Structure 1
């Protein structure tokens, strides 16, 4: 493989000097996308620069992707990271880009470097010209007050000629200053464009061959910024900094960015075509499945508790936790953000109880409490153990697939689909799940409970079907779970109080 072609290996985590984890291992196989993009940009940004839109929906690992990419190339190329959202207090995106570039690149040069001294002087002139806009932005961010909206109340009296003349002269002087500041700023920008190219060259030269062009500039969180600021930032990058040997990677949820553009130009505005003007190409990271998304979070944030094996269906390993959450999220077509919220609620309950429970039921109750409250309320209020919920389910408006349960001798009943011939499946439809658990976790009189267990025993003894015998065991296990209907209701009401 040529030395100029990289093939990133992110299979192992990156540790900092203290031994703590800086970046986890790449469980989503994103390294191959970063390698592909890097090799492409390293060639195509040499002449005329390159502005790439890295499009990824929320939850697709966008920030991890660009930070791990930066970590992989910091010893090969000059690298700059700009968090646009953290700096949108400024009314001047030009200032954000210039200061970020200068600060990041300057750290790689000694203070006495001549190029650094030149650019420091010229950037000071630019910042002086931009200071009024920056001050207004800081005031607005801090106190919510727009200085442009402040007006002096009342009118000048006719006989206040001296004051009137003085204000007229002051206004003319202010106008001249504003024109001069504007011209100074434009002149400084033109200087700075050339000086930034020189600064990149100086950084590469100072590293004595360790670094090479192009420089990689990553702009993140632009879709979270104020709409006007986001649009102006794109204008700045496109018109002023599309320079030789600079690759800009603007990471966004492009759909959200289009909403920002429409907020500025109107709902009927063709935001997609407009944004296309700013980027040479758009590259979209593939959206994760809910299983991949939950698995990625579980690996780093969930500590498996062996007591979860006692649940029905059993969470016999961490992968069962991942599956039960992702299955419920799939059935109700949750977004990745909603899936993460569902997972947070589930973890919150599991960390607050030692009772045994049905994980499918708890997760379903979370969802229908938020999205189909009439169905949730019907389940909460149901007192008849044979209550049928099919009428309320039919009003949901879309098909909800079964909730899979498989039986394996080693682990018992688990929440997964297994296609092996020796494995039996006990899939439940939503109505069956709600009705069965309404029966099992409601209050039982001791005599009625004993009678139900005896019925299961009789069915087991008379049946010649191994599957039916296992189903009798499954129902008895559900009946013996320690969580009551009141417990499920309390857990749901507690957990849904988390802000969305």
Structure 2
């Protein structure tokens, strides 16, 4: 049995062979787009946390390798400890060129590396010595130059001779800075010609985990991608949760900025990770549910089919992400691993607790301490016991009735109509000598023995 969901390991030349979500067609369309474009292209791939963006781009990079399209994968979150985003991207490019050139041109590669160093030094000198935003060289606006002149004027009044001299130097060398940047970008545009046999393939740079970075680093990175690295023959794919990145923009520039419009300045094409959600019989969550059950190899003593069916309807009801469903399965693996075949197991209650522990810890905590009624639970979770025509909703209704059976008071139970179906639920408990009101505490205490992080 696997307690934690085994990671999907995608080989360098493996594409969508392990794809259970049917995303290969989208991957092919994205490949066609980047391979046929001759523009300075920056594409954003949007998706919420836990929707499989990283797995998709890893598989897509394998598809690029099969098509002999050179590509670089950069984990932005793993590099946000570096103060300068330029260094992270430039070093990844130079290293890749050194290791993967198939049309070697030592002089051109060396020249590009030297230009990258010079640009990096100039950028550092802007930001290290003057307290203004200077993320780019050639992209500095006239207003930025005016700001420098204002600083120089203030310095002339006696604030700092050293800084004043530096500002004057920067103003005087602005033309050279622009020329340096243009030379760097021109060389970068030529680098893909060294990376494919015919020299006619673009270089694709995938930057992942942007929404997990520090806000300042994430914003600086997309700004530098656009201003310093966006050239013909190089395509950037920025993998992000757009709403989260918009919050990062607001964090850097203030709550009043139109973050959506601001990001559009740096992105040419927007797309979204594909999801099948409308078809209850073939949604992403149903396919991944089956996949996770197989991967975890849980010994359920015959509970498997009921467990998968229960999680199907709960995942749809609570709109679980793929990552959340993984955590649910870890909870279930812990529960079954610490149980035995002859112990009482009520799948509707167990599966609900495993889900609610992930999606709403406050409700789970209230259940743990027996501080929530059945009516309050339905109100907070949107569950309903009313008759449903849809088959999946009937499953959810059945699950809800088990929660009702477990949570209502003795007085409420006695007031039930004699034909109420939950009166018969108690027959499942006879051989275990367990009282109805003890069901929820028994299962929730077992689930609480270990914390899944």
Taking a change above 3 Å as real, the CA distance of residues 360 and 134 of structure 1, as seen in their structure-2 partners, is farther
Corresponding position of 1:331? 317
Work out the CA distance in 2 between the residues paired with 1:297 and 1:482. Answer: 36
Does residue 122 in structure 1 map to residue 115 in structure 2? yes
Partner of 1:81: 73
Name the SS of the counterpart of 1:268 in structure 2: coil
Q: Does the CA-based 8 Å contact 1:109-1:116 persist in structure 2? A: no
Q: Distance in 2 between matches of 1:271 and 1:339?
A: 31
Report which stretch shifted further, 280-289 or 219-228.
280-289
Write the distance in 2 (CA, Å) between the matches of 1:24 and 1:49.
31
Contact 2:41 2:268 in 1 (8 A): yes
Write the distance in 1 (CA, Å) between the matches of 2:218 and 2:48: 17
Larger Rg: 1
Matched, 1:398 2:391: no
In structure 2, what is the equivalent of residue 203 of structure 1? 195
The CA deviation string for residues 190-228 of structure 1, in whole angstroms up to 9 with x for no partner, is 322122222211223xx3x3x632221111111111212
For normalisation by structure 1, the TM-score amounts to: 0.65
**Residue in structure 1 matched with residue 296 of structure 2 by the alignment:** 302
Residue 273 of structure 1 and its aligned partner are, at CA, apart by 1.6
Q: CA deviation at 1:113?
A: 2.4
Q: Does the 8 Å CA contact 1:221/1:252 hold for their aligned counterparts?
A: yes
Deviations 1:113-168 (A, max 9, x none): 232222233333344445679999xxxxxxxxxxxxxxxxxxxxxxxxxxxxxx97
How far off its partner does 1:293 sit? 6.7
Report how far residue 250 of structure 1 moved.
1.0
- SS of 1:91's partner is coil
> Does structure 1 retain, via aligned residues, the 8 Å contact 2:298–2:336?
no
2:85 aligned with 1:97: no
Q: Structure 1 pair 134/340, CA: closer, same or farther in 2 (3 Å)?
A: farther
Aligned twin of 1:139: none
**1:149-228 mapped onto 2 (5 Å cutoff):** 187-204=179-196, 207=197, 209=198, 212-228=200-216
Q: Mind listing any 5+ residue stretches in structure 2 that lack a counterpart?
A: 1-7, 130-158, 278-283, 411-417
Pairing 1:365-384 to 2, within 5 Å after superposition:
365-366=353-354, 367=356, 370-372=361-363, 376=367, 380=370
CA contact (8 A) 2:71 2:205 kept: yes
Tell me which of 237, 246, 251 is aligned to 1:258.
246
Match of residue 361 from structure 1: 349
The answer (yes or no) to whether the contact 1:78–1:216 under 8 Å persists in 2 is yes
Report if aligned partners of 2:378, 2:384 keep a CA contact under 8 Å in 1.
no
SS of the residue aligned with 1:247?
A: strand
Match for residue 445 of structure 2? 490
Q: Secondary structure at the match of 1:372?
A: helix
Q: CA deviation at 1:253?
A: 1.0
What SS does structure 2 have at the residue aligned with 1:258? helix
Query: Residues 190 and 328 of structure 1: is their aligned pair in 2 closer, same or farther, counting only changes over 3 Å?
Result: same
- Structure 1: how far apart are the matches of 2:332 and 2:272? 31
Question: Deviations for 1:262-312, whole angstroms, at most 9, x for unmatched residues?
Answer: 11222232211221221112111234557347427606741132x431xxx
Query: How much does 1:398 deviate?
Result: 3.3
Normalised to the residue count of structure 2, the TM-score between the two structures is 0.71
CA spacing shift, 1:267–1:114, aligned 2, 3 Å: same
The Cα RMSD (Å) is 4.3
Task: Find the counterpart in structure 2 of residue 315 from structure 1.
Answer: 304
Contact 2:348 2:399 in 1 (8 A): no
Contact preservation (8 Å) 2:46, 2:239: yes
Paired residue total: 390
Distance 1:76 1:106, change over 3 A: same
1:357 positional shift: 0.6
Q: Offset of 1:72 from its aligned partner?
A: 1.4
Secondary structure of the corresponding residue to residue 218 of structure 1: strand
Match of 1:446 in 2: none
Matched, 1:476 2:431: no
1: distance between equivalents of 2:192 and 2:81?
27
Match of 2:402? Answer: 433
Q: 1:199 to 1:395 in 2, by over 3 A?
A: closer
Which digits, 9 at most, give the CA deviation of each residue in 1:61-92, with x for residues without a partner? 11111111111122521212222222222232
Counterpart secondary structure, 2:256: coil
Paired with 1:291 and 1:272, the residues of 2 have a C-alpha distance of: 29
Q: CA deviation at 1:353?
A: 1.6
Match of 1:240 among 228, 237, 258: 228
- Please tell me whether residue 32 in structure 1 is matched to residue 20 in structure 2: no
The answer to whether the 8 Å contact 2:77/2:212 transfers is yes
Distance change (3 Å), C-alpha of 1:288 and 1:91: farther
How far is the alpha carbon of 1:491 from its aligned partner? 1.6
- Matches of 2:375 and 2:429 in 1, distance apart? 25
Residue 346 (structure 1) aligned with residue 316 (structure 2): no
Once residues 34 and 71 of structure 1 are traced to their aligned partners in structure 2, the CA distance between those partners, rounded to angstroms, is 10
> Aligned-pair distance for 1:53?
0.9
Does the 8 A contact of 1:215 with 1:246 survive in 2? yes
The question of whether the paired residues in 2 share the 8 Å contact of 1:59 and 1:293 is answered with no
CA contact (8 A) 1:13 1:23 kept: no
